[in-house]
């Protein structure tokens, strides 16, 4: 009995160390990035970095506002395209598809997660960009937010689908049986019982999807045009803003970090701090939303 207690204590200690190590790694990474960015923040200030549009390192201009807007816009566009498709696929796999269809569709969706991002970028360059270039708008090169958002939507699809499917399957079967017994249809049960009950898992899937979208680099560099400009409509039609070129925060770091030095390198680290904070804001907002929803439900 004493040996079992010692083993249990040792296992708990190992698990505690593992969990603590994860926190230490995240904090250490943030401290390293923040310390490296301090020279830029001291030189230009928060307003000079986050509030300015011009990024010309050769002229001493290091405004990253245009890249913040580009990152946020392409992420939101990818979510608008990808999230409904991902959740619909998760519902199909969890509640509607027969086993034979599941055996084909589920591995195909999971396979998408294993494809390197550069392959997605090549697909976007060879297939999507020429298609979007056919849209008759002056200045439309095919490279821009729309191409990047479509590629990004496909990239976040397997993550959101897999976790959402698990969340739906984790809902007790008694919920479904009770709903059907009360006269609800299968679709009513899915949308009014299963999805609300699996809300926490679906939100977790969305957080991971947003993190993947904000952090994607290679594919974005290849299809977004990579121009440091504030996305704007190409003509009088405001919808043509989706055809505008842009640059993301991650793309900016990847393109310039190899030859950057001094304040230039520090400004790139400041870009990393902003990216880190955006992801933190997403996580905190999602948890606050879940806590508020759970409080209202109780």
Q: What is the pLDDT of residues 52-99, one digit of tens each?
A: 888 888 888 898 999 999 999 999 999 999 999 999 999 999 988 888
User: Could you give all domains of the chain from N- to C-terminal order, each with its CATH number?
Assistant: 2-297 (1.10.3720.10)
pTM: predicted TM-score of the whole model, two decimal places: 0.87
**pLDDT one-digit tens code per residue, 243-297:** 999 999 999 998 888 888 889 999 999 999 999 888 888 888 877 877 776 666 6
Partnered with residue 62 across adjacent β-strands are: 55
What does the mean pLDDT of the chain come to?
Answer: 88
Which residues, other chains included, contact 297 with Cβ-Cβ below 8 Å and sequence gap of 6+? none
pLDDT of 122 reads: 92
Distance, CA of 34 to CA of 279 (rounded, Å): 15
């Amino acid at each position: 009995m004493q040996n079992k207690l010692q083993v249990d204590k040792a296992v708990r200690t190992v698990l505690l160390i593992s969990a603590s190590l994860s926190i230490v790694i995240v904090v250490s990474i943030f401290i390293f990035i923040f310390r490296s960015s301090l020279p830029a923040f001291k030189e230009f200030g928060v307003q000079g970095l986050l509030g300015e549009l011009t990024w010309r390192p050769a002229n001493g201009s290091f405004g990253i506002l245009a890249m913040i807007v580009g990152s946020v816009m392409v992420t939101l566009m990818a979510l608008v395209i990808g999230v409904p498709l991902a959740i619909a696929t998760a519902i199909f796999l969890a509640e509607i598809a027969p086993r034979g269809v599941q055996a084909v569709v589920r591995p195909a969706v999971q396979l998408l997660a294993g494809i390197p991002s550069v392959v997605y970028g090549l697909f976007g360059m060879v297939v999507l960009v020429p298609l979007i270039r056919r849209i008759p708008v002056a200045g439309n090169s095919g490279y821009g937010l729309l191409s990047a958002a479509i590629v990004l939507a496909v990239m976040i699809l397997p993550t959101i689908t897999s976790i959402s499917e698990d969340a739906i399957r984790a809902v007790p079967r008694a919920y479904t049986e009770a709903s059907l017994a009360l006269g609800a249809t299968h679709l009513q049960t899915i949308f009014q019982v299963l999805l609300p009950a699996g809300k926490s898992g679906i939100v977790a899937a969305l957080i991971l999807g947003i993190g993947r979208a904000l952090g994607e680099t290679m594919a974005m560099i290849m299809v977004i045009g990579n121009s440091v400009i504030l996305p704007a409509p190409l003509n009088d039609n405001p919808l043509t803003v989706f055809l505008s070129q842009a640059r993301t925060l991650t793309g900016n770091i990847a393109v310039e970090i190899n030859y950057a030095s001094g304040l230039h390198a520090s400004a790139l680290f400041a870009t990393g701090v902003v990216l880190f904070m955006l992801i933190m804001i997403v996580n905190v907002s999602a948890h606050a939303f879940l806590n508020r929803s759970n409080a209202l439900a109780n």
